[in-house]
Chains A and B, each alone.
Chain A
Amino acid sequence: MTPEDRGVRIATTSAVPNIDSESQLKALLSGMSGVDAVGVEGRCAKLATRSIKKSSKMSAIDLAISMVDLTTLEGADTPGRVTSLCTKALRPDPSDLTVPSCAAVCVYPDLVAHARSVLGNSRVAVASVATAFPSGRASLKVKLLDVADAVSAGADEVDMVIDRGAFLSGRLGQVFEEIVAVKAACGEAHLKVILETGELVTYDNVRRASWLAMLAGADFIKTSTGKVTVNATPPAALVMLEAARDFAESTGRIVGVKVAGGIRTTKQAISYLVIVNETAGSLWLTPELFRFGASSLLNDLLMQRLKQQRGAYVRPDEFSGD
């Protein structure tokens, strides 16, 4: 047995199949192995018992901070709030420069230009939701304009939503073509495809939607908008990571995974990192391939980081609010 047998083997030449028709896409997706709900939830429950302590906890916290897409997606967002968020993403704890910066700031398209002006050419990316976020209920024409708007304002990353209605009613070709079109409209910008797993309901759907998005050219697949009742869950993330792992093994193309919505505590973040570690492996343990879409999570990570260093908790108002 070679060392390659013991990990996830990724071909270095691309072999992503060309999808020419909806029937071909349907055949490919319906031929995939199902997901046993009891089994996948049991696996997550078991992984959740991993006990991450001491220096491994410290490095997990820093890794998680570097994976945060610091997000504000409210109607009441203001340029001032975005400025504050950008500053925080750049230097999450101004009193400790060893704290890594976040991966990105995620805003609505109209605030992209402002975020860009604050972040300049820093390592922190500007991500924008687009395509009639969060419902996705608009014509393709409108969605593409939305994307073009965000990209021209300086977005490095675009978080699109899929048309869940089309997916659930079996119009898979439509979902596929929309992603292809959005990807083209993104140009250089990275495309994250939001599956909204809470609305897809079954894990079978989550696996198929993951593959559909990856086949259509997604750079990332993302669980949720954060705007519906059920957001990211560990089992949905596990199924998506398995899909990303299997896709990389069979096509050589490596797609990232983003979990979003409802992730507020360090404990939750670390349990997701455990799932990444034991499902997809080392390659995905970087901000280039795994992200947390979150806002309040960052302060909890900072608080736990200080707790690790000082041995005692600090007051929450030690850190700036969003």
Chain B
Amino acid sequence: MGESLANSQLGAFAYDPAPESTSVVNLHASYGLFIDGEFTEPSSHEHFVTLNPANEELLATIAQSSEADIDRAVRSARRAYDTVWSKTSGAERAKYLFRIARLIQERSRELAVLETLDNGKPIRESRDVDIPLAAAHFFYYAGWADKLDYAGFGVNPRPLGVAGQIIPWNFPLLMAAWKLAPALAAGNTCVLKPAESTSLSALALAEILQQADLPPGVVNIVTGDGASGSALVEHDGVDKIAFTGSTEVGRLIQQRTASSQKHLTLELGGKGANIVFEDAPIDEMIEGIIDGIFFNQGHVCCAGSRLLVQESIADEVLRRLVRRVDQLRVGDPMDKNTDIGAINSAAQLSRIEELTAYGEREGATRYTSSCVLPEKGYWFAPTIFADVAQSHRIAREEIFGPVLSVLTFRTPEEAVVKANNTKYGLACGVWSEKGSRTLWVAQRLRAGVIWANTYNRFDPTSPFGGMRESGFGREGGRHGLEGYLDV
């Protein structure tokens, strides 16, 4: 290698802004609660604001549900269950689900723009991942609705009744689809509570449910903060709670439901290990590591936030990763060429800042993209920490942001031990061209999802869920029905 170096700049050819038009979305000034097939005012008449995290502009005001509203929604769901939905055949339920899926596809552009406005994720992801996958989940479970006898849970498996479903802000519409589609296919009625900062796409979905002529009360959508969620968890009329969110809140929900008859599934946090062996296909592996941690700004519970790289290739992998991170296009989420959008909220941003500051204090080496961040809104430049030790906070705690911690290992045994040395157990990745090694490692990893030579790949036919403090129960696939059947 010569002493003086020439440099070929990546991404030197600049792309002009290519913003998606927001005119396709018709935002209301204020949104009510969707109960018994109608939009209604909350009993308290209280509303809270929802902001565009990319520029902190007000999007709309959202109804805050009180205990009385939650009670109204649950009673509506119970009535719909008793009088309509439990008497509707699987084939009929399938028709509604197919209709919802098709309407999501028809309104996909509008939904993608809405999701990006409210969440801050790049339009490329909401357009190519969130919305198509949400439709795919409804299509997939529509197919199951009249075939429950063959799902492996015995003949004529019964639904649970009323399902209370609480979803997070990272994939708002997709998480609603993950929850509603299997519940409805199995014959349950639902009360869905979207996350406080991202209610808009769930409310657009409510309009779609109206368009699809879903009988009133089969799905009720109640917006609000943690208190609303808490009221839903506590409500006696709920037969099942399905929660996706933080481990802290999941633990509280499990305590509160422990003395009740309520069924429970939890999909909680994670600290996914992405294990890279020296024989991995290097270029695709670099892309996979990038996708694993920077997809959706790292707001992904199964994110590959711990990179375990074999020592023999550690320097080369780190060099290429640093180069690749600098190439990521950070900025206006509505621009079709943006790779990394805004952090969803000020609270999340400050948590990311706190943990990364700890990373530096504990002695890890920080590489941060040289990208220019917008002045308004919540932004965090993609960051890699090298020289991370197992004992560092950034190796143990879920950051839920665009921050990768890089650790090294020498042998497959060491990789497995390090990967499993976490309280979580949601997802792992294994990168190697040697199939036998991939299988050997995969069999020893304690995680619900293990990807081989890829990461963050989702499909409605594939079950997803965690072990240990990442929760229990599965969503997606045949397994996803089990959480909504009395089996």
- Do these two chains interact? yes
Contacts of A1 in B (CB 8 A): 322, 367
**Bound CA–CA A295/B15 (angstroms):** 27
Interface set, chain A 236-280, CB cutoff 8 A to B? 239, 242, 245, 248, 250, 252, 273, 277-280
**Bound CA–CA A284/B7 (angstroms):** 11
**Bound CA–CA A10/B5 (angstroms):** 5
Most buried by A among B6, B14, B124, B370: B6
- Say yes or no for A283: interface residue by CB 8 A criterion: yes
Contacts of A55 in B (CB 8 A): 16
Judging by beta carbons under 8 Å apart, are A282 and B14 in contact? no
Contacts of A57 in B (CB 8 A): 16
Judging by beta carbons under 8 Å apart, are B10 and A281 in contact? yes
Contacts of B128 in A (CB 8 A): 49
Judging by beta carbons under 8 Å apart, are A5 and B322 in contact? yes
Interface set, chain A 131-178, CB cutoff 8 A to B? none
Binds B, one of A32-40, A69-77, A107-115, A183-191: A32-40
**Bound CA–CA A50/B323 (angstroms):** 20
Interface set, chain B 282-326, CB cutoff 8 A to A? 282-285, 287-288, 319, 322-323, 326
Judging by beta carbons under 8 Å apart, are A15 and B2 in contact? yes
Judging by beta carbons under 8 Å apart, are A278 and B10 in contact? yes
Contact A39 to B281, CB < 8 A, known contacts A6-B323, A282-B8: yes
Contact of B453 among A10, A39, A51 (CB under 8 A): A39
Contact of A283 among B5, B6, B336, B453 (CB under 8 A): B6
Contacts of A53 in B (CB 8 A): 15-18
Contacts of A4 in B (CB 8 A): 5, 7
Chain B, residue nearest A238 (CB): B283
Contacts of B322 in A (CB 8 A): 1, 5-6
Chain A, residue nearest B15 (CB): A56
Judging by beta carbons under 8 Å apart, are A43 and B370 in contact? no
**Bound CA–CA A149/B421 (angstroms):** 68
- Say yes or no for B347: interface residue by CB 8 A criterion: no
Measured CB to CB, the closest approach of chain B to A242, in angstroms, equals: 5
- Say yes or no for B280: interface residue by CB 8 A criterion: yes
Interface set, chain A 3-40, CB cutoff 8 A to B? 3-15, 33-36, 38-40
- Say yes or no for A60: interface residue by CB 8 A criterion: yes
**Bound CA–CA A39/B452 (angstroms):** 11
Majority SS of interface residues in chain B?
Answer: loop
Judging by beta carbons under 8 Å apart, are B1 and A281 in contact? no
Judging by beta carbons under 8 Å apart, are A7 and B2 in contact? no
Measured CB to CB, the closest approach of chain B to A247, in angstroms, equals: 12
Count of A interface residues, CB-CB < 8 Å: 50
**Bound CA–CA A250/B316 (angstroms):** 12
Most buried by B among A34, A35, A56: A34
Measured CB to CB, the closest approach of chain B to A296, in angstroms, equals: 24
Contacts of B370 in A (CB 8 A): 6
- Say yes or no for A285: interface residue by CB 8 A criterion: yes
- Say yes or no for A228: interface residue by CB 8 A criterion: no
- Say yes or no for A52: interface residue by CB 8 A criterion: yes
Judging by beta carbons under 8 Å apart, are B8 and A40 in contact? no
**Bound CA–CA A281/B324 (angstroms):** 12
Judging by beta carbons under 8 Å apart, are A10 and B281 in contact? no
Measured CB to CB, the closest approach of chain A to B386, in angstroms, equals: 11
**Bound CA–CA A47/B337 (angstroms):** 9
Contacts of A38 in B (CB 8 A): 284, 453-454
- Say yes or no for B210: interface residue by CB 8 A criterion: no
**Bound CA–CA A104/B282 (angstroms):** 35
Judging by beta carbons under 8 Å apart, are B11 and A34 in contact? no
Bitwise, B121-136 to A at CB < 8 A (1) or not (0) is 0001000100000000
Interface set, chain B 145-169, CB cutoff 8 A to A? none
**Bound CA–CA A55/B13 (angstroms):** 11
- Say yes or no for A54: interface residue by CB 8 A criterion: yes
Contacts of B13 in A (CB 8 A): 56, 59-60, 273, 277, 282, 285
- Say yes or no for B9: interface residue by CB 8 A criterion: yes
Contacts of A239 in B (CB 8 A): 283
Most buried by A among B4, B11, B454: B11
Judging by beta carbons under 8 Å apart, are B2 and A36 in contact? no
Known A-B contacts: A282-B12, A283-B8. Give 6 more (CB < 8 A).
A11-B2, A36-B433, A43-B283, A57-B16, A60-B13, A280-B8
Task: Jot down 28 A-B pairs with beta carbons below 8 A, ordered by A.
Answer: A1-B322, A3-B7, A5-B323, A7-B9, A8-B7, A8-B8, A9-B5, A11-B5, A12-B4, A13-B2, A33-B279, A36-B285, A36-B453, A38-B284, A38-B454, A40-B284, A42-B287, A42-B454, A43-B283, A54-B16, A56-B14, A56-B15, A56-B16, A60-B13, A245-B8, A277-B12, A282-B9, A282-B10
- Measuring CB to CB, which residues of chain B are less than 8 angstroms from any residue of chain A? 1-18, 124, 128, 279-285, 287-288, 319, 322-323, 326-327, 336-337, 367, 370, 433, 453-454
